Amino acid sequence: MSTRKTTLFYALLIAVASLAVGMVIASRLDLSPESSAQTMAVPAANQAPLTGAVSFSTFREIAKAQTPTVVNIRTESRQRAQEMTEFFGGGDDLFRRFFGAPDEEAPRNNQRRPRDQVVQAAGTGFIISKEGFIITNNHVVEGATKVLVSLYGEDEGQEYPARVVGRDPLTDSALIELTEKPNHTMPEAKFGDSSQIQQGDFVMAIGNPFGLAHTVSVGVVSALKRPFPVATGRSQDMIQTDAAINPGNSGGPLLNARGEVVGINTAIYSDARQSGNIGIGFAVPVNAVRDLLPQLRTGKVTRGMIGVSVRAIPRENIEDLGLKERKGALVSSVSAGGPAAQAGLQPGDIILEVNGKPITKSDDLVQIVVALKPTTTVPVRILRDKAEKTVNVTIGELDLESEGQRASADTDEEGDTNEGFGITLGNLTAERARRMGVPSGTTGALITDVDPSGSAARSGVRPGDIILQVNRKPVTSAAEAVRALQSVRTGGTAFLLVWRNNQEIFVPVPKGGE
């Protein structure tokens, strides 16, 4: 062998040896990835139309095939449990009512649980890969210091520790991974296409209600696209079902008649008299979560925002706004310094199209924008003063925590009263402006009182709002605002630009009878 070939051979041998040593060192020092989560493929979804007859054995076969994919989840947390909102019925503890925590964890004598007390809760999940990845609800594992998973068919008390890989509050979804795995192959849930679900379709829920592991219930899809509040000013469209869902079902699968996951059981509607099922349950459409899996597996879900608040086009103002039909999203406010503000959007603009996608209703805008990648620039077609124009908006990154922070408005003594709208106006004095944190030089009319039964209240006007413009004309005092409002014909609409919480808000207010 020549000297040159010998040198090349040993160089290659050293490179291979170095790579092998490097891999060993990396594994010892935990420098290699903790899991294969970021490289795994998104589970395939069966998009074929749902057809065929339902027989006496249909649900028996689904239960037999899919129950092994469902897991029970037990969590421990040192966070003080949140209170149930009025939507869920009553004010009992969230973990006991919804997650199915044991009774002994409930507060005694109506006393609040200490902040540092360990809280145990229970929920459900379903396996999506043999590597030990499981989907559940965000609220099942949020704040958990320990996550333990029980598998179907194993000895009672057998639990496997898991870690939270990624969470998404907007879809109330979370991806967890077993850190210790069983010595057998785990089954995988099958995904269906939630966009094909129709009202009246049969569905099955499997979960851990009140600690009763792997309970099966059957019902139908009661309704689609039920808006459900998930954050301040934001909601998620849900599948409503009458399949029995109870505390502890959270995170379990909602299956179609083929045994495919079409939803993630998330919430129940209950009243003050009982915390259990009354035939109204909600599930997140699985398509919304499946699309997020690549981001959940990286540990962070990134969403777009443009910094506007929008509302539906008032039905009675279609022509007044220059529209031929009720389509688009009416911009009620623009966040100062946000992407929309930088692009020149203003309160009162109507957004017709974003990145080539038409906006039929205000919810469309939210769904389109949150799916856009931050830092990308997209064209936004708007209608302003009955004329169309296009502006380019650079998408920002959504921060739910900062978005949810809202300052409270201040009010003061009464001033001039305006009939037909149900508001009481006062002058914006320098002292009032200083106490309310209004920018210096701002002029307008302060709304000191709002009649709860008036049109202004129904339109969202609040005490403490400052009227800056009436029908796009500035007003500098209560008297000017009163004159401008009085000039609006009965049955017509006053388009108000008001200042609230450090931002301008566009509010259409119809004028009632004098």
Question: In this structure, what token pair is assigned to residue 121?
Answer: 């809760």
Please say if 139 is a catalytic residue: yes
Q: What is the mean pLDDT of residues 460-479?
A: 89
The CATH number of the domain where 350 resides is what?
2.30.42.10
Does any domain span residue 462? yes
pLDDT, residue 79, reads 52
pLDDT band at 285, cuts 50/70/90? very high
CA distance 265 to 240: 10
Specify if 348 maps to a domain: yes
Last residue of a domain, one of 296, 314, 330: 296
What pLDDT was estimated at residue 229? 75
- Helix, strand or coil for residue 376? coil
Residues 368 and 470 in one domain: no
Active site annotation includes 250: yes
Burial grade of 204 (CB within 10 A; 0-12, 13-18, 19 or more): buried
CB 70 within 8 A of CB 126: yes
Q: Which residue has the higher pLDDT, 388 or 101?
A: 388
Residues 298-331: pLDDT tens digits?
Answer: 998 999 999 998 888 888 888 888 999 999 999 9
Amino acid at 501: N
Cα–Cα distance, 478 to 20 (Å, whole number):
79
Please indicate, yes or no, if residue 411 is contained in any of the structural domains. Answer: no
Structure-token match 């201040």, residue found? 410
User: 292 with 308, same domain?
Assistant: no
Percent of the chain with pLDDT over 70: 78
> What number is the average pLDDT over the span 412-423?
59
Residue 230's SS3 state is strand
Angle at alpha carbon of residue 315, lines to 312 and 316, rounded to 5°: 130
Q: Report the pLDDT value the prediction gives residue 274, as an integer from 0 to 100.
A: 56
Give residues with Cβ within 8 angstroms of 285, minimum separation 6: 194, 195, 197, 237, 238, 239, 262, 263
Q: What is the pLDDT of residue 401?
A: 67
Dig out the tokens for 308 from the structure: 């506007």
Least confident of 77-81, 240-244, 309-313, 500-504: 77-81
Residue 39 lies in a domain: no
Rounded-to-integer distance, Cα 265 and Cα 217, Å:
12
Contact 428, 443 (CB under 8 A): yes
pTM: 0.64
250 with 308, same domain: the answer is: no
Instruction: Give the tokens for residue 97.
Output: 């009512």
Q: If you average pLDDT over every residue of the chain, what do you get?
A: 80
Which residue has better confidence, 241 or 418?
241
Q: Are 365 and 313 in contact (CB under 8 A)?
A: no
Identify the pLDDT of residue 418. Answer: 56
Neighbouring CB atoms inside 10 A of 476's CB total: 14
Q: Indicate the pLDDT class of residue 39, thresholds 50, 70 and 90.
A: very low
The answer to whether residues 98 and 193 belong to one domain is yes
Q: Are residues 373 and 430 in the same domain?
A: no
CATH number at 216 reads 2.40.10.120
Q: Are residues 199 and 63 in the same domain?
A: yes
Same-domain check for residues 65 and 181: yes
Let me know if residue 167 belongs to a domain.
yes
Marked catalytic residue, from 93, 139, 168, 193? 139
| Catalytic residue (choose from 92, 93, 168, 172) | 172
Q: Mean pLDDT throughout 330-338? A: 88
Residues 311 and 238 in one domain: no
Q: Which residue has the higher pLDDT, 289 or 27?
A: 289
Same domain, 205 and 338: no
Query: Is pLDDT at 405 greater than 80 in this prediction?
Result: no
What is the phi-psi region of residue 81: left when phi exceeds 0, alpha when psi lies from -120 to 50, beta otherwise? beta
219, 185: one domain: yes
- Residue 309 · residue 505 · CB < 8 Å: yes
User: Average of pLDDT values for 388-392?
Assistant: 95
pLDDT of residue 40: 56
Examine residue 67 and state whether it is found in any structural domain, yes or no: yes
Which domain-ending residue is among 403, 425, 460? Answer: 403
Give the tokens for residue 389: 């124009």
Domain count, the chain: 3
Pairing, β 45-46 against β 191-192: parallel
Choose the catalytic residue: 77, 194, 217, 250.
250
Q: How many CB atoms lie within 10 A of CB 47?
A: 11
Structure tokens belonging to residue 54? 């339902």
Instruction: List CB contacts of 192: < 8 A, sequence separation 6 or more.
Output: 45, 46, 50, 255, 256, 258, 260, 261, 262, 286
Q: CA 450 to CA 49: how far, in whole Å?
A: 52
Q: Read off the pLDDT band of 350 (50, 70, 90).
A: very high
Q: What is the pLDDT of residue 430?
A: 72
Q: Which of 475, 13, 26, 47 is nearest to 262 (CA)?
A: 47
Q: Are residues 215 and 352 in the same domain?
A: no
User: Cα separation of 251 and 406, whole Å?
Assistant: 31
The model's pLDDT over 50-75, given as tens digits with 9 standing for 90+, comes to: 888 888 899 999 999 999 999 999 99
CA–CA dist 122, 209 (Å, integer): 9
CB 240 within 8 A of CB 281: yes
Per-residue pLDDT at 104 exceeds 50: no
Flag whether pLDDT at 31 surpasses 50.
no
pLDDT(90) > 60: no
C-alpha span between 7 and 36 (Å, rounded): 38
216-247 pLDDT, tens digit each:
999 999 999 888 877 766 778 899 999 998 88
| Cβ neighbours for 150, distance < 8 A, ≥ 6 positions apart | 71, 72, 73, 74, 158, 159, 160, 213
- Domain membership flag for residue 115: yes
| Domain assignment of residue 332, given as a range | 304-403
Last residue of a domain, one of 403, 427, 462: 403
In a domain, 40, yes or no: no
Average pLDDT of the segment spanning 38-45? 68
What is the reported pLDDT for 30? 33
**Same domain (yes/no): 109, 235:** yes
- What separation in angstroms does the CA of 358 have from each of 227, 373, 396? 21, 18, 20
Q: Residue 1: how many CB atoms within 10 A of its CB?
A: 8
